[in-house]
Chain A
């Protein structure tokens, strides 16, 4: 699908500052990093999760384990959206029981992906609590879901989309606001 860049919302420095603030907020709210685990959602949430882990370590010295979650199998549009799904790996090599989970994604939009992630996490263990950290909240929630830690609040229209790019997959760290040009195409924009 074609899109046009409308604005650059953050560059690498901006992203680093925002992530640093998020790491401080996470530690403040949880009174340290003890008992915390981070779960990043495929694909870009995983890289953001790893950076938060490093930042938390540099702030209070704690080692927070990072897991990877793919919610494809839990999506409510599984039978509508894909002709054939692309299932990626879920890798959580630690116990979730009685832990405080920080669920990390790049963008929150309708909240449906988060709903799927919550269901997946419930199946994986009984956490003490689940909090959510996102790089960008672009509004338009369709479910009663609210992130606990937000990097940037970006009011958007339905025809726009927020692209968080990370250098591990996209060769640069940046956040863009883009406008979709072909909404009648086969694929709908990501409801991250």
Chain B
């Protein structure tokens, strides 16, 4: 029996370029679909035939372990055919342009492009020029929508509802695509968002957004229901944003000692890869308050949901 269609429970875009402007109902719909798909990961035969015949190319111009493997696994669980592209060892090193690379790959008759690129806006650029469905797997410091979706799925599983939840995003906000996608998504679902980090790593104009900004980690810990601890990119020290990693750890590192001061321990999330001893102490990362590994599992489910929802082509049976 065909499930009844509920109005608003359909994504309005055929691409997933970011969470900016996506209504809360659409985000919830993706999360609901991910919840339904999660069960497949625990089956003896972890595969469904849904995307048989759909070809996906994972176009990664930037290194990635988690995201690429997670997409790859999601594609395999849904029986899609997939190709992997990485910048090293490809014709990009011979000077081929982004558009030429993408158009050549599309000429091989593919249906979905999952793209990660160091430049913000690349997924949108490709969406305007290719016929394939484009899924953003991270573009520069702009957006990383599937990461934010899996963060929200994890929050929803732990707290039941995201509305009214207090989420603090901690660390290098200015260079983080995870932060921006989370801000859009969490606000759309009615959460309160706080950004906490050193002023040098806070984006310009952050004060003008409808979010709290603070520079005191203890304040953030006592305020928040959940902390999303961002990775401190080690290059930042060289670029002069930080005096030293040790100082960063002393001022903003999440330690057990700090957490224990709070009346209620917040939930600890981290998009990975973690720099243990810099933004997060090992004792915290491995504690019962950390849901880092749940996030990874949810990542596969969320990416399956996005693929299922976007890969069915618009063919009408009349």
Contact = CB atoms under 8 A, between A and B. Distances in A.
B3 interface: yes
Given A43-B1, A190-B1, A78 B312 contact: yes
A45 B3 CA distance: 12
6 contacts: A79-B53, A79-B312, A79-B315, A87-B37, A88-B36, A106-B1
Interface string A150-192: 0000000000000000000000000000000000111010101
A173 to B, nearest CB: 16
Contacts of A87: 33, 36-37, 305, 308
A88 B310 CA distance: 16
Do most interface residues of chain B lie in helix, strand or loop, or is the interface mixed?
A: loop
A124 B46 CA distance: 9
B10 interface: yes
Residue among A45, A73, A120, A190 with the highest chain B CB neighbour number at 10 A: A73
A184 B310 CA distance: 25
Instruction: Assign chain B's interface to a size class.
Output: 35 or more
A142 interface: no
Given A45-B1, A80-B317, A89-B35, A73 B43 contact: no
Contacts of B316: 186
Interface of A: 41-45, 70, 72-74, 77-91, 105-107, 113, 119-120, 123-125, 184-186, 188, 190, 192
B44 A125 contact: yes
B208 interface: no
Interface string B39-65: 110011101111001000000000000
A41 B312 contact: no
Nearest to B305: A87
Given A79-B313, A86-B6, 14 more contacts: A41-B1, A42-B3, A43-B4, A45-B1, A70-B3, A74-B48, A74-B49, A79-B315, A84-B11, A86-B3, A91-B39, A119-B49, A186-B316, A190-B2
Interface string B296-310: 000000000100111
A83 B314 contact: yes
Contacts of B93: none
B1 A186 contact: no
B43 A88 contact: no
Contact of B49 (A73, A91, A186): A73
Given A79-B313, A80-B315, A186-B318, A123 B47 contact: yes
Contact of B308 (A41, A70, A85): A85
Nearest to B37: A87
A186 B40 CA distance: 31
A11 B144 CA distance: 53
A74 B187 CA distance: 35
B83 to A, nearest CB: 20
A85 B1 contact: no
A7 to B, nearest CB: 20
Contacts of B49: 73-74, 119
B306 to A, nearest CB: 11
Interface in B1-30: 1-6, 9-11
A59 to B, nearest CB: 27
A13 to B, nearest CB: 24
Contact of B3 (A88, A119, A120, A184): A88
Contacts of A43: 1, 3-4
A86 B5 contact: yes
B245 to A, nearest CB: 44
A188 B315 CA distance: 13
A101 B228 CA distance: 45
Nearest to A71: B1
